[in-house]
Amino acid sequence: MNIIKGDKIKVLSGKDRGKTGKVTKAIPTEGKVVVEKVNVVKKHKKAKGGAPGERISLELPINVSNTQLICSKCKKPTRVGKKKVGGKMVRICKKCEAEI
């Protein structure tokens, strides 16, 4: 998985197609990411005891294959490449080849 927490991504399919947002959580074992304000569902929390019920918004994970990373340099959605720099693997933008 080439997307990590803190990345900015664009959603390619689903009801939030075209939206961009920041990855707040990456779940590599499931190949999913949670993205700010993307795939939001509203849930009702029932009133319990003396506390009133409330509506809460929850961001559900989306498949990483439905997202594309937005390069911080050229600001375009891009595929992610990998390059070895100083013995370390870094992610690069396939469009402008900047390190991500």
Question: Under the rule (CB under 5 A), what is the footprint of Zn ion?
Answer: 71, 73-74, 93, 95-96, 98
Q: Which is nearer to Zn ion, 22 or 76 (CB)?
A: 76
Residue 15 CA to residue 96 CA, distance in Å, equals 29
**Least gap, CB of 96 to Zn ion (angstroms):** 3
Give the residue carrying structure tokens 């664009």: 10
Q: Which is nearer to Zn ion, 10 or 32 (CB)?
A: 10
Work out the angle at residue 25's Cα, subtended by the Cα atoms of residues 21 and 29, and round it to the nearest 5 degrees: 125
**Least gap, CB of 52 to Zn ion (angstroms):** 48
Which token pair is 69? 């990373």
**Least gap, CB of 95 to Zn ion (angstroms):** 5
Q: Which is nearer to Zn ion, 61 or 81 (CB)?
A: 81
In 3D space, the residue among 59, 97, 63, 62 whose CA is nearest the CA of residue 79 turns out to be 97
